[in-house]
Structure 1
Amino acid sequence: MEKKEGSGASNEISCDITSKNEKDDLEAPQDKFYVIYILFFFLGLVHLLPWSFFTTATEFWMYKFRNTSINETNSEFRTDLQAQFNATVMITLQVSEVAFLFVGVLWGRLISVRVRMIGIFTIIFTFFVILTIFVKVDTDSWQSGFFGMVMAITAGINSMNSVFTITMYTTLASFPQHYLAPYLTGTGLSKAFTSVLQILTLASGLSVQNSALLYFCLGLFIIAITLVGLVATGRNQFYLYHMRNYQVGQIEKRVSFREGRHLLTKIWPSVAMMGLSVLTTNASPTALVVSEDEGSGLWSDIYFIPTITFLLAAICDLIGRGIGFRYAPNVGRHWWVIFAAARLAAFIPLNMLCNAQPRNHLPVLLPHDYQYIIIVIAANISGGYLLSRSSYNIANFVSKEELKHAYHVNMLFTGLQMGIFSFISIVSVKLL
């Protein structure tokens, strides 16, 4: 475990925790073939998979909500539904997350962790099946109704995801700390994975609808594999050993308001870092940025957004997370928050001055593709780094016994900030 910052007393606590963890590791069964380690990677991958599928399938959504009278998806002819889609998805995702984070903390503990996880993924799988069915349904005559249905499915999936988040961090707190790495790597790789799938399906030569159908079917396959892995944990000795305190019939202890407030005073830098990162993402209309050469070929019209806005961004985010796993400068807590605030002050205006369309107010001061690419690289490497450090630093701020509840407090306040900042995305689009 990483060395704690601060006084000698905190270093003694760190040593005690490390020795306890080492003792637990010696007594624990082996994770044969790294089955649980790999499962945690898939849980991270699937955790953000629905969100990634909704945000990266840009070509499909632009087709579904196009102006049917001219049958055109070019940014010059974008409808209100096309322009507002990504911003509305962000609001729907984050408001539903806030609501069900509280549900997960208050009542999720009444259901055993394993049963909760299996139930969550079964519901997510069902919602995804419904959405996949509607890929081939003609919705041109009821675009507004379909828009509302998509948002309802988005809210349903993300409600389950928010309960999953609380459950997953309860699980992670019971395993050795290095098992956090595959989970965070999976969440980071989720965006890259879906971006690659999107590019491959677009390159398949299939129609927009057929490529989207293939795209969503591949997502269903990954969710199904993860669900099978969760069911199989009932026979895995390594998993059962570490989760021995969360068996069926046992009710988890709920953190009190006083305990939560005390933990918040310890982990506030991580909460603030996450909030500033969420605000930076929400206020940056990157999904609307188009190539300076739009209308001149396949690269600018079809592949630019999935390759640069999503795939390159995801790869850089993953690089940032990898750096964060391995390198943590020995600085005071407040410097982490200052770094996150400086990142916000830099990248929100830079993204808004790129070639995001449509726009009626702000000028395009950064019209070239290479300028946008540089911004994407810098923003996502720094964002991935902050995300990994915000999670890892929590274990340095609290004791092993407090870790599970510290994760819960962090997720609650992060979710609350997501809900508060979700409407910024609409404001950003209107300001363009």
Structure 2
Amino acid sequence: MSRHRARTPDFTIQNDLQNELEDQPLIPGGQIQPPRDHYNLSYLAMVVFGLAALLPWNMFITATSYFDKKFEKGSPFVHKQFENFITIFSQITNVAFLFINVSLQNRFSAFVRIMGSLLVMCLMFVMTTIMVKIDTHTWADGFFGLTLVTVVLFNACAGVFQGGIFGLAASFTPRHIQGFMTGQGVGGIFASVASIISLAVTNGEDPIQSGFYYFLAASLVIIVALVMYPIFLNLPISKFYLDRVTDELSRSFKAPTVSSWTIIKKIKWMLFSVWATFCVTLTVFPAVIASIKSVSADSPLTTTYFTPVTCFLLFNFGDFVGRTVAGSVQVLTRKWLVILTITRVIFIPMFAMCNYHPDERTTAVWFNNDAFPIAFMTVFSFSNGYLASLAMMYGPSQVPSDQQTTAGAFMAFGLGLGLMSGAFMSFALNAVL
């Protein structure tokens, strides 16, 4: 049986599928059924890639205690606003490189873009781990500037990686998209649990040492993703879908060119939904919600662990559940998806009226009980994961298969744009409250 090599502008890998497919049954229409995803390896790979894609963002926003200690000797402005600056620099860079990734698709192969970005992220995490051990108290403001440079480099790579992987997932199946989204939720849980464990190991008394364990764990995750990507490309099911992309691209070169604007118009409401979901989320998370204090008596749970548990862990767990449920429960029509996305705006005043910045606020606290922010967070986090995942899955399905990779890249850009918009709104909200 003959062997052949498929070449595409975006994927340069060997396709050797005849032996894998010769016994596969046909699906309606005479097309060959994809190979089985043995042990769910391709799905699990997407989960790992999703985890790695948001790991820099999750790690930097969750390491609140570490950065608070590092910047305590700096200027009061830096010490108070470092979370907002990290958020804004992260999202501006991420959105810019998600957009740049679209233009890079035909210039650099996916292998180069994805492996290159993972290698740089790995090196940056190693450097960040080393910086934990360096005393920066005498140059806290300088270290703040260095941290922002690190954030920019991290998120530039994360933007290229996320856009590349999501474009890849969009050319596979909705299940692979959901796996990538679920992995992003796992990344949030990983960061939250790593933060809590590192606090527990040091008894909450040494945030600098806890930061060392924290960033070291992140370095190991990126290494796993580096090893996983070449393995993923050589799975039979991956070769099948990449070979299909090759065939469809070769046919599309003979057909009239479809403009990006035409694709955007087909997925516009799903683009809006994913943008609005993350815009609302980033408006209050983490900057506002992380500043909500417990109203209960002093104890480790209401002081040291209150924010790591009720803000970061609860959000990331609820977000993960929402993303996971979206893979099997898709009862919302596109119309109701848009409507429910818009209604999430109500969470902004709800969290603001909890015990937010109790020592500085000038307005009354309406929800003066710890049960309120916990209940709000439960619904807030689940809706974020569920609605965003549905939008990301529905979007590419609205265009022909030869346009799905581009549609997927635009959906990733819409996600990043929502994060950036929310970051700016959070900065404004924090200044007003």
1:62 aligns with 2:59: no
1:191 aligns with 2:188: yes
Q: Residue type of the partner of 2:179?
A: P
* Equivalent position of 2:95 in the other structure: 98
1:202 aligns with 2:199: yes
Deviation at 1:189, TM superposition (A): 1.4
* Equivalent position of 2:409 in the other structure: 408
Deviation at 1:160, TM superposition (A): 0.9
1:324 aligns with 2:326: yes
Corresponding residue to 1:293 among 296, 304, 328: 296
Q: Distance in 1 between matches of 2:136 and 2:257?
A: 48
Q: Does the aligned pair in 1 maintain the 2:281–2:384 contact within 8 Å?
A: no
Q: Distance in 2 between matches of 1:149 and 1:245?
A: 45
Q: Distance in 2 between matches of 1:42 and 1:197?
A: 16
* Equivalent position of 2:218 in the other structure: 219
* Equivalent position of 1:393 in the other structure: 394
Q: Residue type of the partner of 2:267?
A: I
Deviations 1:39-63 (A, max 9, x none): 1111011111111111111111111
Q: Does the aligned pair in 1 maintain the 2:178–2:326 contact within 8 Å?
A: no
Q: Residue type of the partner of 1:298?
A: P
* Equivalent position of 2:31 in the other structure: 23
CA separation of 1:49 and 1:81: change in aligned 2, threshold 3 A? same
1:83 aligns with 2:86: no
Structure 2 gaps, min length 5: 1-26
Q: Distance in 2 between matches of 1:117 and 1:130?
A: 20
Deviation at 1:419, TM superposition (A): 3.5
Matches within 5 A, 1:347-366: 347-357=347-357, 359-366=360-367
Q: Residue type of the partner of 1:318?
A: F
Q: Distance in 2 between matches of 1:383 and 1:233?
A: 28
Deviation at 1:401, TM superposition (A): 2.5
What is the aligned-residue RMSD (CA, Å)?
2.8
- 2:267 is paired with a residue whose SS is helix
* Equivalent position of 2:129 in the other structure: 132
Deviations 1:177-215 (A, max 9, x none): 322222111111111121111111111136222111111
Q: Distance in 2 between matches of 1:429 and 1:227?
A: 38
Which has more helix, going by share of residues?
Answer: 1
Q: Residue type of the partner of 1:23?
A: Q
Number of equivalenced pairs:
398
Q: Distance in 1 between matches of 2:299 and 2:220?
A: 33
Deviation at 1:101, TM superposition (A): 1.8
Q: Distance in 2 between matches of 1:359 and 1:144?
A: 24
Q: Distance in 2 between matches of 1:330 and 1:297?
A: 43
* Equivalent position of 2:113 in the other structure: 116
CA separation of 1:204 and 1:42: change in aligned 2, threshold 3 A? same
Q: Distance in 2 between matches of 1:108 and 1:134?
A: 34
Deviates more, 1:189-198 or 1:353-362: 353-362
| TM-score normalised according to structure 2 size | 0.84
Q: Distance in 2 between matches of 1:232 and 1:324?
A: 27
Deviations 1:125-184 (A, max 9, x none): 111111111111111111111111111111111111111122112211332332222211
* Equivalent position of 1:279 in the other structure: 279
Q: Does the aligned pair in 2 maintain the 1:362–1:431 contact within 8 Å?
A: no
Q: Residue type of the partner of 1:278?
A: F
Deviations 1:323-370 (A, max 9, x none): 322223354x333222111111x1000111122226344332223211
CA separation of 1:66 and 1:364: change in aligned 2, threshold 3 A? farther
Deviation at 1:235, TM superposition (A): 4.4
Q: Does the aligned pair in 2 maintain the 1:233–1:240 contact within 8 Å?
A: no
Deviation at 1:266, TM superposition (A): 1.7
Deviation at 1:234, TM superposition (A): 5.5
Q: Distance in 2 between matches of 1:388 and 1:416?
A: 16
CA separation of 1:175 and 1:215: change in aligned 2, threshold 3 A? same
* Equivalent position of 1:336 in the other structure: 337
Q: Distance in 1 between matches of 2:397 and 2:172?
A: 16
Identity %: 26
Q: Distance in 2 between matches of 1:45 and 1:186?
A: 4
Q: Residue type of the partner of 1:143?
A: A
Matches within 5 A, 1:147-162: 147-162=144-159
Q: Distance in 2 between matches of 1:19 and 1:375?
A: 47
* Equivalent position of 1:72 in the other structure: none
Q: Does the aligned pair in 1 maintain the 2:73–2:140 contact within 8 Å?
A: no
- 1:299 is paired with a residue whose SS is coil
Q: Residue type of the partner of 1:45?
A: L
Structure 1 gaps, min length 5: 1-17, 69-77
CA separation of 1:223 and 1:65: change in aligned 2, threshold 3 A? same
Q: Distance in 2 between matches of 1:417 and 1:205?
A: 36
Q: Distance in 2 between matches of 1:224 and 1:328?
A: 34
Corresponding residue to 1:39 among 37, 45, 54: 45
CA separation of 1:190 and 1:413: change in aligned 2, threshold 3 A? closer
Q: Does the aligned pair in 1 maintain the 2:199–2:210 contact within 8 Å?
A: yes
CA separation of 1:234 and 1:327: change in aligned 2, threshold 3 A? closer
Q: Distance in 2 between matches of 1:235 and 1:268?
A: 34
Q: Distance in 1 between matches of 2:310 and 2:99?
A: 35
Q: Does the aligned pair in 1 maintain the 2:318–2:382 contact within 8 Å?
A: yes
Q: Does the aligned pair in 2 maintain the 1:59–1:302 contact within 8 Å?
A: no
Q: Residue type of the partner of 2:372?
A: Q
Q: Residue type of the partner of 2:200?
A: A
- 2:305 is paired with a residue whose SS is helix
Deviation at 1:233, TM superposition (A): 4.0
Q: Distance in 1 between matches of 2:422 and 2:182?
A: 25
1:52 aligns with 2:54: no
| TM-score normalised according to structure 1 size | 0.84
Deviations 1:60-103 (A, max 9, x none): 111112258xxxxxxxxx94323212211111111101221222
Q: Does the aligned pair in 1 maintain the 2:42–2:238 contact within 8 Å?
A: yes
